[in-house]
């Protein structure tokens, strides 16, 4: 009889388990999901209860064969993927493949990846949860029905390659609607008045006008502000009311998934995707020298602030030791979960307070340490006493005007000595120190300050505020936020300007079409109700097939209607006031791969086009003209957009086809220390129009010597240098400099670093349009991945 078999989904977790359990168990990794719906077909049998037609994922056959062989020989099998819906689906699919073996199959769930927690889970295993699997299956089928049936309509009506998602499309709608609010916003003028006063003792202080004739102070223009200023010049300022009280500021709960994403965005400027990648690594295990691989935080996908009794004892003891008994509340602080929260998992916390951030920082990457400190400090603070303030509120009368000032002095720091939650928007009122004042005291007027303001439009969403909005509206689940935000960026429906989300022209167009044709799918409340239905399926209170049937009947009718009634943007031609310079026809606005453009209606006889962009205010603008002139024909140069971004082109096109790079590409090339072997000049780094860099002689065009740009990584096949190259379709890749004798090539940028899991001689950097960077193993079966650092760029 063979050893018991434990199956996890991650090679990193498998490695950590081996260190915990030694040779007593056989441990295998599925490297994520082993089954999925087919890529090139719907894969859902709608007529037969929405039955999903799962297939073994390409490349997973060998892994599955090894798992089957190990299961056949094992005395018992423990399925131990992550304790969430996706993990349950992995466990269920593995069970389906090995259930023919006459062995006991158990489900082991680890909320934290420590030896103690693992042994406890193995001693008390459960069974795979069919309800949780059904909830995942319903969500997967639901998303497939929406995505694979709406997307072809967009291909037909707008352009090929577009896609729609059940949740992602709703998130894009929120961003589009916020942008429309901003564009239609009309600022309104208003004024505030503050006075500087002094009492019998220093310091002087500022009070703000809050009421006029017992009504809220509303000053609409400068004339009104000046009138009040004149009235106050000779007024008597008297302390009308003085209230002193002790105010407590209570700590925030330990992190749940959504709050971790929000706070990491505020304080560390991490995207939700980056936060979850780093948290996954901290959960699965980090090498801590002699300690070996240690899971530093509990499971990071949770919506419950619950803390286990053992952990409460641990943190309370730590608080007394480090801060003293004054910082420890008499009883532990308990926090309520929001309605519908899953209580299966604890809040996100450190697995052990032995591993203080300062003690283990040498083993952690910069971003890992930053996130770990955030989790550590929030957990400690959540179990400390409140901060106490002595607060004074003073109301001051001046004829029929009422002013107020609030002073606050920190009396006891409590939890804020460790942690204070970040704010998406700065607090409006700042409290300061007030002098000793008495009721009825006459105050001296030192100055009057009227100030003009204008109402502001609602701010654009950031990572933090968008996650907060999704959580409040019940759209998606915290475990899916990172994927949602990265997906809408990758699909070019939104973009980021600094830290703010803006809809692209494509996003605005697609959202408009989908809202018109699929109002139910794009409805925020409906999307939230579907999430609640999935929760009910997980609790076993609702049938997954009946839930899908209720959704599909009206959706099917919308599909049929959209096929015939959705606006056909691809064939649309909107008349404009611009005259074609070649044939004199009135040009039309059309939609192309790069957005709107002006085209001659006499195509193909006349092929003249001009760029047309939509400004942020919503107005159309023709191509911009630069001040510089064409060095070939003397006509003005204009800014155009092409396949590789914006560039300068002669306005005399097609008679003059002169073009010039715009922006960084037109800057002076960087000089290297490498010497040209032909003329002795220095080689400089240049960038080809295809995007790849190359080395060229600084004496060009006298010397035309050039060669490929090396990236500092040896070829794993022949030992030569890897260089930047571009494909026939102008896509950047990395190939061996000894080509054609060596044909090694890699699409992702190689990194000169061995894989810590499988020993691959190099890793690769992967970028996406969220501007996030990951470093991964190129061996698919390995699955190693970690968050990258911008310092490496």
Residues designated as active site: 299
User: How, if at all, do strands 494-497 and 442-454 pair?
Assistant: unpaired
Closest by Cα among 573, 568, 642, 655 to 611: 642
Alpha-helical segments (H) within 58-107: 61-73, 85-98
CA distances to 40, 84, 132, 301 from 345, in Å:
37, 9, 14, 8
* DSSP letter string, 688-699: -TTS-EEEEETT
- How many whole angstroms separate alpha carbon 242 and alpha carbon 396? 9
The CA distance from 384 to 445, in Å, is 43
Lookup: tokens for 440: 């009825």
Residue 495 CA to residue 502 CA, distance in Å, equals 5
Q: How many Cβ atoms from other residues are within 10 Å of residue 198's Cβ? A: 15
Decide: 305 and 254 in contact? Cβ < 8 Å: yes
Residue 71's nearest CA partner among 1, 165, 15 is 1
Distance CA 731, CA 692 (A): 9
> Do the strands 26-29 and 5-8 form a parallel or antiparallel pair, or are they unpaired?
parallel
Distance in Å from the first CA to the final CA of the chain:
52
Phi-psi region of 53 (alpha: psi -120 to 50; beta: other; left: phi over 0): beta
Residue 588 · residue 609 · CB < 8 Å: no
Contact call for residues 446 and 197 (beta carbons, < 8 A): yes
In this structure, how many other beta carbons lie within 10 angstroms of the beta carbon of residue 57? 18
Neighbour-count burial for 752-779, b at 16+ CB within 10 Å, e otherwise: eeebebeebebbbeeeeebebbbbbbbe
Secondary structure of 17-51 as H, E, C letters: HHHHHCCCCEEEECCCCCEECCCCCCCEEHHHCCE
Do 281 and 293 touch, CB atoms closer than 8 A?
A: no
Enter the tokens of residue 434: 């007030």
Q: What is the DSSP string of 186-249?
A: ---EEEEEEEEEE-SSSPPEEEEEEEETTEE--B-SHHHHHHHHHHHTTPPEEEEEEEEEEEEE
- CB–CB of 375/278 below 8 Å? no
């Amino acid at each position: 009889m063979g050893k018991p078999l434990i199956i996890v989904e991650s090679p990193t977790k498998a490695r950590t388990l081996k260190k915990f359990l030694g040779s007593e168990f056989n441990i295998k990794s599925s490297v994520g999901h082993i089954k999925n719906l087919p890529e090139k077909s719907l894969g859902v049998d709608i007529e037969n209860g929405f039955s999903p037609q799962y297939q073994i994922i390409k490349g997973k056959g060998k892994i599955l064969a090894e798992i089957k062989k190990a299961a056949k020989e094992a005395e018992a099998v423990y399925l131990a993927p992550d304790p969430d819906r996706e993990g349950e689906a992995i466990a269920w699919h593995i069970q389906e493949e090995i259930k023919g073996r006459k062995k006991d199959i158990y489900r082991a769930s680890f909320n934290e990846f420590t030896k103690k927690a693992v042994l406890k889970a193995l001693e008390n295993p459960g069974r795979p949860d069919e309800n949780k699997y059904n909830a995942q299956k319903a969500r997967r089928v639901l998303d497939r029905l929406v995505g694979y049936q709406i997307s072809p309509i967009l291909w037909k009506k707008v352009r090929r390659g577009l896609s729609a998602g059940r949740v992602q499309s709703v998130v894009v709608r929120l961003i589009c609607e916020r942008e429309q609010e901003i564009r239609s916003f009309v600022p309104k003028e208003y004024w505030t008045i503050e006075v500087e006063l002094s009492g019998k003792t220093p310091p002087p202080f500022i009070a703000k006008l809050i009421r006029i004739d017992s009504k809220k102070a509303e000053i609409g223009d400068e004339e009104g502000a000046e009138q009040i200023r004149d009235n106050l010049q000779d007024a008597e300022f008297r302390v009308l009311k003085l209230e002193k009280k002790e105010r407590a500021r209570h700590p925030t709960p330990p992190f749940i998934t959504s709050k971790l994403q929000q706070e990491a965005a505020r304080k560390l400027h991490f995207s939700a995707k980056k936060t979850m990648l780093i948290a996954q690594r901290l959960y699965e295990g980090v090498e801590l020298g002699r300690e070996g691989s240690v899971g530093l935080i509990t499971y990071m996908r949770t919506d419950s602030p619950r803390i286990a009794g053992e952990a409460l004892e641990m943190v309370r003891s730590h608080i007394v030791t480090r801060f003293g008994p004054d910082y420890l509340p008499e009883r532990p602080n308990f926090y309520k979960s929001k309605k519908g929260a899953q209580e299966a998992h604890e809040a996100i916390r450190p697995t052990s307070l032995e591993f203080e951030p300062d003690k283990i920082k040498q083993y952690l990457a910069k971003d890992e340490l930053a996130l770990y400190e955030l989790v550590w400090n929030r957990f400690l603070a959540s179990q400390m006493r409140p901060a106490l303030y002595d607060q004074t509120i003073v109301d001051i009368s001046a004829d029929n005007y009422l002013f107020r000032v609030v002073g606050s002095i920190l009396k006891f720091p409590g939890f804020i000595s460790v942690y204070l939650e970040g704010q998406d928007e700065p607090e409006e009122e700042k409290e300061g120190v007030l002098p000793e004042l008495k009721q009825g005291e006459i105050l001296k007027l030192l100055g009057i300050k009227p100030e003009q303001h204008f109402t502001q439009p609602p701010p654009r969403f950031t990572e933090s505020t968008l996650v907060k909005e999704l959580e409040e509206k019940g759209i998606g689940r915290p475990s899916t936020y990172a994927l949602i935000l990265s997906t809408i960026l990758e699909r070019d429906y939104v973009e980021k300007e600094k830290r703010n989300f803006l809809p692209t022209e494509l996003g605005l167009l697609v959202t408009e079409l989908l809202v018109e044709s699929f109002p139910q799918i794009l409805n925020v409340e409906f999307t939230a109700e579907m999430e609640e239905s999935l929760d009910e399926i997980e609790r076993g209170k609702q049938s997954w097939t009946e839930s899908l049937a209720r959704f599909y009947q009206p959706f099917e009718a919308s599909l049929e209607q959209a096929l015939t009634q959705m606006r056909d943007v691809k064939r649309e031609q909107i008349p404009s006031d611009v005259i074609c310079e070649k044939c004199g026809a009135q040009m039309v606005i059309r939609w192309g791969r790069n957005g709107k453009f002006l085209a001659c209606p006499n195509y193909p006889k006349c092929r003249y086009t001009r760029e047309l962009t939509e400004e942020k205010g919503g107005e159309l603008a023709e191509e911009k003209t630069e001040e510089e002139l064409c060095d070939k024909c003397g006509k003005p140069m204009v800014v155009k957009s092409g396949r590789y971004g914006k560039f300068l082109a002669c306005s005399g096109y097609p008679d003059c086809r002169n073009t010039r790079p715009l922006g960084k590409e037109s800057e002076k090339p960087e000089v290297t220390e490498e010497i040209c072997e032909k003329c002795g000049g220095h080689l400089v780094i240049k960038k080809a129009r295809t995007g790849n860099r190359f080395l060229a002689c600084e004496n060009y065009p006298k010397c035309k010597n050039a060669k490929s740009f090396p990236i500092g990584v040896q070829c794993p096949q022949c030992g030569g240098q890897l260089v930047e190259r571009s494909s026939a379709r102008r896509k950047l890749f990395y190939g061996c400099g000894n080509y054609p004798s060596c044909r090694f090539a890699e699409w992702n940028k190689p990194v000169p670093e061995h894989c810590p899991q499988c020993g691959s001689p190099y890793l690769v950097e992967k970028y996406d349009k969220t501007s996030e960077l990951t470093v991964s193993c190129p061996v698919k079966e390995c699955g190693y991945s970690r968050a990258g650092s911008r310092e490496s760029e």
